Amino acid sequence: MSTPRERPPAGGAGPALDPRLRSAVDASVGWYEDLCALHGVGSVLAQGLWSTTRPPPPLHSDAVVVEPGVSAELVAQRLDGRAHAGVKDSFATLDLSGSGLRVLFAATWVHRRAAVPVGADRSPWSLVRTGEQLAGWTARHDTTGVLLPGLLQRAHVAVLARRVEGRPVAGAVARLGSGTVDVSNTWAVEGHRLDWAELAGAVAGLFPARPLVGYQRGADLTDALAGGFEAVGDLRVWVR
């Protein structure tokens, strides 16, 4: 994978940020805020860079770029002293190799217009409501100890499972933010592919008339685009 060149901060005359991309990045930060709060981890948002005050929950980044003008130097300063760290470069513009980081993966932000709601009585998707159900869900998604039972007590967060003959074969988390719903933590067992249009209808049944945002890569991205999502921007996750 080639190393991206850092682009200069956009000037005042530069093109405005696509509002679909803006909503996706902001929704991702909202998810980080919720999850870190459950784990007792504080955060700072300054100079366009969100970061944790101590190591974040597993599988999550120490810092998230919120504004296009953030520099690699600022990221390095914020991560100073952390031997292991992750950064979500929300606009795929930074070269962080000078700080000893490498690209873990590249992905694509996606956006979908509000779907037609599908009621729970007509959808194979249902809410995860108990700690026992969540334990089974996270065991399949390798997020045991990351997605905590406290999520189930938050009205704006829905943990969803798709069941076939009573057995969960797929899952997703939907989080209502400021006018959008962030769809994350999607998974499916071997031999089953997510039907993204079906998932969008189930989410709309819970949070109607809101567009959906998130990010995907590989086959999941292909499936999401086939399910009515649009690609609205690139991102990279860096680690050391």
pLDDT at residue number 129: 97
pLDDT at residue number 1: 40
pLDDT at residue number 166: 82
β-pairing, 181-188 vs 212-216, is: parallel
What gap in Å lies between CA 75 and CA 64, rounded to an integer?
9
Show the tokens assigned to 170: 């797929």
Is residue 10 very low, low, confident or very high in pLDDT (cuts 50, 70, 90)? very low
Give me the mean pLDDT over the 41-57 stretch. 98
pLDDT at residue number 165: 84
pLDDT in tens, 168-202: 899 999 999 989 999 999 999 999 999 999 999 99
Show the tokens assigned to 1: 């994978």
pLDDT tops 50 at residue 110? yes
| Cβ(88)–Cβ(61) below 8 Å | yes
| Average pLDDT of every residue of the chain | 93
pLDDT at residue number 120: 75
Show the tokens assigned to 3: 């190393």
Is residue 155 very low, low, confident or very high in pLDDT (cuts 50, 70, 90)? very high
Helix (H) or strand (E) holding 185: strand 181-188
pLDDT at residue number 203: 97
Q: Which of 110, 74, 69 is nearest to 91 (CA)?
A: 69
Reported as half-sphere exposure (CB side, CA atoms, 13 A), residue 237 has a value of 14
Q: Which of 90, 53, 195, 88 is nearest to 186 (CA)?
A: 195
pLDDT at residue number 52: 98
pLDDT at residue number 5: 39
Distances in Å between the alpha carbon of 12 and those of 21, 26, 73, 184, 237?
Answer: 18, 21, 21, 33, 27
| Cβ(123)–Cβ(200) below 8 Å | no
Show the tokens assigned to 149: 């039972």
| Cβ(88)–Cβ(56) below 8 Å | no
Look at residue 94 and give its three-state secondary structure.
coil
Residues in CB range of 234: below 8 A, 6 or more apart = 91, 92, 106, 107, 108, 109
pLDDT tops 70 at residue 93? yes
> Around Cβ 45, how many Cβ atoms within 10 Å?
13
| Cβ(86)–Cβ(62) below 8 Å | yes
Amino acid present at 123: S
